[in-house]
Structure 1
Amino acid sequence: MYSMNYIQGTIFPAPSFDPVMDAQMLGGALQGTDCDKDVLIDVLTQRCNAQRLMIAEAYRNIYGRDLITDLKETLSHHFKEVMVSLMYPPASFDAHELWHAMKGAGTEENCLIDILASRSNEEIFQMKEAYLMQYDSDLLQDIYSETSGHFRDTLMNLAQGTRQEGYMDPAMAAQDAMVLWEACQQKTGEHKNMLQMILCNKSYQQLWMVFQEFQNISGQDIVDAITECYDGYFQELLVAIVLCMRDKASYFAYRLYNAIHELGFHNKTVIRILISRSERDLMNIRQRYKERYGKSLLHDIKHFASGHYESALLAITAGDAEDY
């Protein structure tokens, strides 16, 4: 339930698109003794994901090699991460990010929160299928083994992808609000379970009413109540669900600001959000970022990144409307 008139990304299908010509340009850029990174940026950041997949197919037909493999072998550091990440279909990219968040040294909980709190039922279904195909592993089983407690229960509930869609019941909203209010007072295991069940399974339209009722009952915003009553990743996940329901663009603007300023430019988070939102709502995220923090997202990327890595991030974020 966005509060914006329309949702807009920064990357669109390129007009007069020729995958064979693009594949040959990439081949020339990658085969030379000195890789022409500017060509890679010009081609891969100015084509939509579906077009990039067609380029990869043409590349395989021409050179008999896999484009992702060649990018990995030729490039390095964060620039490599950006270029390779652009080549995954959205569901495969989500699966890739979740796998690495859980299988690295220590679990990267904020990656799990960002993805699972913000995706639709359909996106979650496709992500689970991609996860199984890519890693021959079950996403729910991996979440179960890599996380714990009520944080784990909530993630697993979200990963079921069974949120109601479009359903509204005003009488039930008042009851749910009372349950949430009690859960913030009592904080028992059972109350935590009821809290996450409501947040994970009710439709966004229903939750909109529930949170209004909650405000009426408690005199408090639901986010403030959750923040006061709970802590740790369980609290962060619950807050993320509420914020994504209210306005995903604002949530991701906040996450980008945090990754850039609080965490000293946390590259994995910045790359993941920019690429995964580039065809969804990255232009809206930019607007929210500027409204909320006074500086443009492009300005902050320029300030903290450098070289071809900076150029690639700026190309993804700028779209056709630069705003430094």
Structure 2
Amino acid sequence: MFCGDYVQGTIFPAPNFNPVMDAQMLAGALQGFDCDKDMLIDILTQRSNAQRMMIAEAYQSMYGRDLIGDLKEKLSSHFKEVMVGLMYPPPSYDAHELWHAMKGAAIDENCLIDILASRTNAEIFQMREAYCLQYSTNLQEDIYSDTSGHFRDTLMNLVQGSRQEGYSDPAMAAQDAMVLWEACQQKSGEHKAMLQMILCNKSYQQLWLVFQQFQNISGQDLVDAINDCYDGYFQQLLVAIVLCVQDKPAYFAYRLYSAIHDFGFHNKTVIRILIARSEIDLRTIRKRYKERYGKSLFHDIKNFASGHYKKALLAICAGDMEDC
């Protein structure tokens, strides 16, 4: 993270919040054949996640129905994915995305990478708990059965949520950097295991020092070295971990840019990142996007999405609109 940065999301708690009134307005918006999509956007994208949970509780109490169930029934396509996604608590949303990434027609390895390479120990613990509650199965076991090789080993390490926190040792950093350098030279199974153990278990503070030492030893950035030495999803996962240590909002800006421009607008990736980061660092992600790609994220979404789906994404992305 760049010095002086203040990481900030785009969605904040609404002032003068009244969950009963919001629940009533949502019930009205969902009535009839053609529901009031503008009303759904105006309410659900302008409330914090905690406030949305209170709205859902009021809705259930007043109408005896599940708000997520009604949204699923009344809406369709990507707009439904956005509105329903907003109604999950963050750990449940991560669990939902991971489940669908592994249980769909094909495994979405990039979803596994985005989530597990970027979450804190606490977020991973809560995600595992939510996964077990929602799907009556174990996240670790599903990852083990649905992935393979060193990619699986690294995911399994990350999902333990056992990264050191707040600890750094400059002397050890030089040793770790040498291990990483050797791993990029030798590429044996043992060296790959050492590489992922360091990247998955050392604290962010320690890894900052390790990356500096690696540059000193090799004359090369670690991301470039990994890209030169490895390939496939194992390589992508290692790079994601390094980028998240260096600057997490920049990593997500890169992922959004790729999803918008490289894949003909990869809707699932765009939706997942915007919702998951909306109260954490989406405003900072927006800033990185503009710095690195010369166009605003708001502009690119506007050009590639359409209809109420576009309006919903823009409402999440916009925040105070200061640097859109």
Q: TM-score, normalised by structure 1?
A: 0.99
Deviations 1:128-147 (A, max 9, x none): 00000000010000000000
CA distance in 1, matches of 2:18, 2:178: 58
CA distance in 1, matches of 2:237, 2:282: 22
Q: How much has 1:106 moved relative to structure 2? A: 1.4
In structure 2, the residue matched to 1:48 is 48
Q: How much has 1:3 moved relative to structure 2? A: 4.0
CA distance in 2, matches of 1:114, 1:4: 25
Residue 260 and residue 103 in structure 1: after superposition, are their counterparts in 2 closer, same or farther (change >3 A)?
A: same
CA distance in 1, matches of 2:311, 2:167: 44
Q: How much has 1:236 moved relative to structure 2? A: 0.3
CA distance in 1, matches of 2:3, 2:71: 39
CA distance in 2, matches of 1:322, 1:37: 25
CA distance in 2, matches of 1:267, 1:34: 24
CA distance in 1, matches of 2:295, 2:323: 10
| Equivalent pair of 1:101/1:109 in contact (CA under 8 Å) | yes
CA RMSD of aligned residues (A): 0.8
In structure 2, the residue matched to 1:61 is 61
Q: How much has 1:320 moved relative to structure 2? A: 1.4
Q: What amino acid sits opposite 2:288 in the alignment?
A: R
CA distance in 1, matches of 2:138, 2:33: 42
Q: How much has 1:321 moved relative to structure 2? A: 1.7
Give the share of equivalent positions with the same residue, in percent: 80
Q: How much has 1:6 moved relative to structure 2? A: 1.1
Return 5+ residue gaps in structure 2 as ranges. none
Q: What amino acid sits opposite 2:150 in the alignment?
A: H
Q: How much has 1:34 moved relative to structure 2? A: 2.1
| Equivalent pair of 1:298/1:323 in contact (CA under 8 Å) | no
In structure 1, the residue matched to 2:242 is 242
Return 5+ residue gaps in structure 1 as ranges. none
Q: After the TM superposition, list the runs of 4 or more consecutive aligned residues in structure 1 that deviate by more than 6 angstroms.
A: none
Residue 61 and residue 113 in structure 1: after superposition, are their counterparts in 2 closer, same or farther (change >3 A)?
A: same
Q: What amino acid sits opposite 1:271 in the alignment?
A: I
| Equivalent pair of 2:11/2:278 in contact (CA under 8 Å) | yes
In structure 2, the residue matched to 1:259 is 259
In structure 2, the residue matched to 1:166 is 166
CA distance in 1, matches of 2:37, 2:258: 29
CA distance in 2, matches of 1:250, 1:34: 39
Deviations 1:223-254 (A, max 9, x none): 10000000000000000000000111000000
Q: What amino acid sits opposite 2:26 in the alignment?
A: L
In structure 2, the residue matched to 1:131 is 131
In structure 1, the residue matched to 2:82 is 82
Q: What amino acid sits opposite 2:70 in the alignment?
A: D
In structure 2, the residue matched to 1:199 is 199
Residue 59 and residue 2 in structure 1: after superposition, are their counterparts in 2 closer, same or farther (change >3 A)?
A: farther
CA distance in 2, matches of 1:166, 1:49: 28
Question: Is residue 97 of structure 1 aligned with residue 97 of structure 2?
Answer: yes
2:118 is paired with a residue of what secondary structure?
Answer: coil
Q: What amino acid sits opposite 1:262 in the alignment?
A: D
Q: What amino acid sits opposite 1:119 in the alignment?
A: R
Q: How does 1:144-223 map to 2 (within 5 A)?
A: 144-223=144-223
Q: TM-score, normalised by structure 2?
A: 0.99
Q: What amino acid sits opposite 2:155 in the alignment?
A: L
Question: Is residue 26 of structure 1 aligned with residue 10 of structure 2?
Answer: no
CA distance in 2, matches of 1:307, 1:106: 28
| Equivalent pair of 2:132/2:139 in contact (CA under 8 Å) | yes
CA distance in 1, matches of 2:173, 2:288: 29
